[in-house]
Amino acid sequence: MADQHRDVFGGVDTHTDTHHAAAVDHLGRHLADAQFPTTSQGYHALLDWLRSHGTVRAVGVEGTGSYGTQLTRVLAAAGLTVFDINRPDRRIRHQHGKSDPIDAYAAAEAVAAGRAAIIPKPHAGAAEALRLLHTARMSAVKARTQAINQIRSHLVTVPDTLRDQLRDLPAGDLITACARLRPATDLTGPMAAAKFTLRRLARRYRQLDLEITEYDAELATLATQAAPGLLAVYGVGPETAARLLAAVGDNPERLHSEAAFAHLCGVAPIPASSGRRDRHRLNRGGNRSANAALYRIAIVRMQHDARTRDYVTRRTAQGLQKKDIIRCLKRYIAREIYRALTCTITTETPLQSTA
């Protein structure tokens, strides 16, 4: 029988069909490892297996936002502390090899040693709903763009009589004109085939446009319910709010400071000093969707907010380029967004905190 007074730390290497779990004690000594299916019964069997080795203090799970999402929910519902484990880099894998037990033990050892500190998102609230809707919306936007690009590409090779009729029309009028085309029943001729293709592409564009409008309405409703204070921030709309909430999750308290949030969004400069040279470099990591949201907010403020335009003028006079000014603005905006996510938003003007 296992010592029930022994502290146990778990690690899980997640996959599509199976999860491989490992258990270590407080000294990092290997106790056992086993494989479980990715089913409801398998998740609970994994939990019972970990508890059979002692008192489970914490569990490290790889891929809590993908393959390990449901397992993370089960472990958290059971009252266990769960940490998100980054996959080992190539250098470590070259040294120690790669297998499911090795990765599972590495995750457990990281938790036991205190190296694991990333608290995963619960994926069980409004932020997760916004993420799902926003992901579907982005795919619809890409498909709509692809449809209009295909229409314009086909106009290069269609017969001249049809091309002259459509070539100079703006996007909206072009879609309307293509949707009204009446091809012949016999599609063996280039003209009939071209009209048939353009009409189908235009109707696809309209359907995707309607789908995107429906997504926008749902995103606005959910974002207003989930974070009304965030929408009160200058330059933040429903789509931008969905990006930020999806990055933060339903537990923004897991981000211990506004600097941590800035690092999550990839707007915190990375130290790159050496010797007498003190410098920072651009952070190319972080959540790129959240980074894009901060960029959009910065562009909106540069175009429409007087205080931001004054700030741009002042920094330009100091010798900064536009791209560097935008990076500074994104860092300041991240501070304001973090306050809106973690406390009651105050009615301050944009960039008031940077004055």
Tell me the pLDDT tens digit for each residue of 227-286.
888 999 999 999 999 999 999 988 888 888 999 999 999 998 888 787 777 777 788 888
Looking at residue 118, the DSSP 8-state letter turns out to be: B
Residue with token string 């795919």: 139
Strands (E), 175-325: 270-271, 280-281
Closest CA to 69 of 13, 122, 119, 9: 122
187-to-190, 192, 196, 320 alpha-carbon distances in Å:
7, 5, 8, 59
What pTM value is reported for the model? Answer: 0.80
208-to-150, 211, 217, 242 alpha-carbon distances in Å:
14, 5, 14, 20
Decide if pLDDT at 349 tops 50: no
Name the band, by pLDDT with cuts 50, 70 and 90, for residue 354: very low
